[in-house]
Amino acid sequence: MSISMVNQVTQIDIRPLTAAQLGRLSLAGGVANPFYDPAQIAIALTTLGQPDDLLLLGGYDVNEHMVGFIPLVKDHTLARLPITYWRNWIHPFCFLGAAPIVPGLEQDFYHALFSWLDHETNLPLLRLTHVPRQAGILTMVGERRVLYRAAHHQRAILAPQNRDALSGETYIKQTVRAKKRKEIRRLRNRLSEQGKVTYREWQPIDPMAPWLQRFFALEAKGWKGKQGSAIANDPRQVNYFHQACALAGERKQLFMAELALDDHVLAAMLGFIENNILFTVKIAYDEAYRRFSPGVMLELAITKSALDHHRFTMVDSCAKPNHSMIDHLWAERMDIEQWVIGLQGWRGNQLARLCQGVERLGARIAGRNSQPQSMRGT
């Protein structure tokens, strides 16, 4: 059964989907998110494993065109309380949780989604995580629903306002401390004494497999390999990246870059491109050359390439907050938020208020500055 939400703009039907259907679907959303591309989600499900209670929901207009998509899963603890609720599914290599929605239909999609969850399920809350502020969740929720921002942080992005008139070298001079720039120049000169240092990017005419194999081998040589957390340590992860990168390569959405000393790769980057935005997913470097900071050199080379050639409107680091390296290289920040939204009418609203109160109390006890903020309903 599908629930329709009708307003002055359009009608959207929310329908459950199967994993097998996803591989045949495509959607160009308003918020760039390669991780929630339906075909990429299908690859993640078949390679990394499908979680229990997974719910794949698509929104369709009257012409049977998909206009929105979101994967949900059940979770069972919220604000340290034993509450079963829906949350957006985030797999280990997914760094953004914004639903891809056709521009202009965001509010229609979310209203239809909330209505469907009200009528077709019995869970009282929805938690949306890893959502960029520009997704505008606050404006998508009707006045009768309680919602609060449970958490937020900032992560580094490369997105200078005057990027079209700004060279990479000028940007680096403006954002990186003079002492740090001098040290990197010294290290590069010392490294150049051992051979030719080059920066290169993967091109669609290049075979993809050798680039991936070099990345896997480089990561496995380091601490991740010793701890068993490198991609090469898990055949499922190897399979995922081969399939995900193959699909991205076919669509010209794959990014791979290397910093090399002659033929020896010192650092490598793997990323995906969506709507002219680069998402830098994984980085690895040769720890035998740690003293030369090859990871920093690679990031600076990517910065120069992105700005000098005007390839991307933004580069998302996909990094954790307060990252020790990238936060000192890129000046811009993107707000990443987590929202809790009441479903099922009065029941969900009351539980949302309860969870918010518990989280506020826990924040006060812990002395945290960032407390859950109620945007409506109190």
Which of 312, 330, 348 is where one domain is finished? 330
Asked if residue 241 has pLDDT above 90, the reply is yes
Mark whether 326 and 369 lie in a shared domain: no
| Same domain, yes or no: 67 and 118 | yes
Q: Which residues are 227's β-sheet partners? A: none
The mean pLDDT of the chain is 92
Does 175 map to a domain? yes
> Read out DSSP for 241-290?
HHHHHHHHHHTT-EEEEEEEETTEEEEEEEEEEETTEEEEEEEEE-GGGG
Q: Taking residues 69-94, report their average pLDDT.
A: 97
pLDDT of residue 1: 40
Q: How confident is the model at residue 31 (pLDDT cuts 50, 70, 90)?
A: confident
CATH number at 86 reads: 3.40.630.30
Band of pLDDT at residue 68, cut at 50, 70 and 90: very high
Domain assignment of residue 54, yes or no: yes
Angstrom distance (rounded) from CA 299 to CA 306: 10
- Tell me whether residue 156 is in a domain: no
C-alpha torsion angle, residues 109, 50, 53, 346 (rounded to 10) = -40
Cα–Cα distance measured from residue 138 to residue 122, given in angstroms and rounded to the nearest whole number? 23
- The label of the residue with tokens 């669509």 reads 251
Q: Are residues 118 and 253 in the same domain?
A: no
Query: Could you read off the pLDDT of 320-329 as tens digits, one per residue?
Result: 999 999 999 9
For residue range 126-152, what is the model confidence (pLDDT) as tens digits? 999 999 998 888 888 877 899 999 999
Model pTM above 0.85 = yes
Q: Specify whether the CB–CB gap between 370 and 152 falls below 8 A.
A: yes
263/323 same-domain check = yes
- Would you say residue 217 lies in a domain? yes
Domain end among 295, 310, 330: 330
Claim to verify: residue 12 and residue 63 sit in the same structural domain: yes
Q: Which of 229, 283, 233 is nearest to 255 (CA)?
A: 283
Percent of the chain with pLDDT over 70: 94
Whether the predicted pLDDT of 27 surpasses 90? no
**Full domain range(s) for residue 242:** 161-330
Which pLDDT score is estimated for 117?
97
Question: Which residues have C-beta within 8 Å of that of residue 139, sequence separation ≥ 6?
Answer: 107
Write the single-letter amino acid at 142. Answer: G
Compute the distance between CA of residue 202 and CA of residue 33 in angstroms, rounded to an integer: 21
Tokens 């989907």 sit at which residue? 17
Q: Are residues 70 and 191 in the same domain?
A: no
Same domain, 196 and 108: no
Q: How many domains does the chain have?
A: 2
For residue 110, tell me if it sits in a domain: yes
Same domain, 173 and 247: yes
203 and 226 within one domain? yes
State the Cα–Cα distance between residues 342 and 150, nearest whole angstrom. Answer: 13
Q: Of 351, 334, 335, 362, whose CA–CA distance to 148 is shortest?
A: 351
Q: Supply the pLDDT for residue 23.
A: 81
**Helix segments in the chain, DSSP class H:** 19-22, 38-48, 106-120, 137-140, 168-175, 178-192, 208-221, 223-227, 235-250, 294-308, 346-366
Render pLDDT for 143-188 as a digit per residue (tens, 0 to 9): 789 999 999 999 999 999 988 889 999 999 999 999 999 999 999 9
Same-domain status, 246 and 352: no
Tell me: do 243 and 136 sit in the same domain. Answer: no
85 and 38 both lie in a single domain: yes
